[in-house]
Structure 1
């Protein structure tokens, strides 16, 4: 395993330090052959990107019967990578919860990928306010059973995140340790504004940045034909308009726009790691350049991209 060029930090105080780069599973592992997936997993471990987000996408707006989690599991087994050398993050959905309970979801997800447990998990999207006391109790039952060690939230409204933290304390139970939020060069308000910003500043939560390229727009300048994340606030056109500036700044630092976007996120002290999709080893290797860039020029990167903040006027309390 090659030496990291960026320090690992834990998702929660006293927890296991995790890689600063994380690979997501949505529309990722089904965009390559089995041999390519095996090679990508090996290279990810070498490049301190051995944190894998593994989810079953077949619920709510994600009811697409995706096989990407199954394909990841097959590639992981074939790779021979030791379980201790990677971090696995699962996902639970609130679209039909509690009708479809957390344990049933988690067991199905583990079975599909042929895994025995997750290191952590993210509790995902919802429309109506969840029953927080019941949720905290249910996820802690999974922790007690040894199926997972910790948990975080995905783009929740800030009032529900604060309620979960308070309820966890009242139950003397494990609360959310991190927030997986839409965050990047153009969308910053949720993570850096008055909603989640104070919870990151005082160490209550850590940040996992996701959807950092706006579905690839800020990495390539093109809008992909495949399904991508929601356009909160209807600002995707404005985000696309800043791509030329992002590309210009990236060229000045000698990296790709994608690597620049990752470095921008990691330059925020709240960010533990950045979740992105990569379907080629060369793409992962280019993204890895972000680690040296943020180590050597983090503040300069942030300053150079100050004018690219697009969502200042978008509601930023969560549920994205």
Structure 2
């Protein structure tokens, strides 16, 4: 493994530490040429970013029949990267569960990407409260079968996350090890507030930060034309309004606004890694500067961005 420039942390207390930078798949691998994707994967392993989120977007609001997962698998094989040098994270959707079981979903996702297993996975969004004993048991069957090593949740209501942890503990099963939450310079309430904050503080969960650039707005100052994540609380215009301040602070630290956003997330001790999309090698190279910034000036970064917290009044118990 290449020499790391930032301390690695585990997403799961029973597993090895993971890279601090994680690359997402939504609207990513289908926006670059095959050779560029291969180069990006190879470079990611060298830059503490050999963690890849691989999802099949085919359900609920993500009924896109995207080929981004297939394209990633092709690029990974062409890259020649050693499987032991990367971490692969899958995704399970709750939109049609349990009608479509987790095993069927996971096997299809693995087959599409040409993979034999995921190291971990995220159980995604839902509308109504899932049957949590059933859900925990289903995920643990996948773990027992060797298809995945651990699991986490994505923007769940806090009471359901706590119930899943309790159910797993009572049954002697593996509970969620991490929470993938919307988290960044402007949206902090869910990860830092009274809902998830205590679970992170006591070590019950690790944090994986996602949607840290608010669909690119806090990285470029522009509203993207492509589909982006939900605007919880209807505060996107307020978030866009803080971009000039984010850009100013980034300039003071000598990094891009995107790298500043990653460094902000890493400055939270609960954060194991930060998930973002990169469709150009230059984006990855620029974001890598966040590691040195967070390591050497994390507290200063948080102090400089104190007034950019926009969602203070948005409910922070989950169901995003």
Task: Compute the displacement of 1:2 (Å).
Answer: 3.7
Aligned residues: 320
Q: Deviations over 1:112-148 (max 9, x none)?
A: 0000000000000000000000000000000000000
Matched with 2:174 is 174
SS in 1 for 2:118: coil
Distance 1:137 1:293 in 2: 41
Distance 1:241 1:4 in 2: 35
The answer on 1:5 being equivalent to 2:5 is yes
SS in 2 for 1:122: strand
Distance 2:313 2:293 in 1: 30
Matched with 2:85 is 85
SS in 2 for 1:274: strand
Task: Compute the displacement of 1:3 (Å).
Answer: 2.0
Matched with 1:304 is 304
Task: Compute the displacement of 1:104 (Å).
Answer: 0.1
Matched with 1:97 is 97
SS in 2 for 1:119: strand
Q: Deviations over 1:245-268 (max 9, x none)?
A: 000000000000000000000000
The answer on 1:121 being equivalent to 2:107 is no
Distance 1:276 1:297 in 2: 21
The answer on 1:278 being equivalent to 2:278 is yes
SS in 2 for 1:198: helix
Q: Which runs of 5+ in 2 are unaligned?
A: none
Bigger mean CA offset, 2-11 vs 134-143: 2-11
The answer on 1:153 being equivalent to 2:117 is no
The answer on 1:57 being equivalent to 2:57 is yes
Matched with 2:190 is 190
Task: Compute the displacement of 1:153 (Å).
Answer: 0.1
Distance 2:69 2:22 in 1: 15
Distance 1:108 1:99 in 2: 15
Matched with 2:39 is 39
Task: Compute the displacement of 1:319 (Å).
Answer: 1.1
**Segments ≥4 residues shifted beyond 3 Å:** none
Task: Compute the displacement of 1:14 (Å).
Answer: 3.2
Matched with 1:27 is 27
Distance 2:84 2:2 in 1: 16
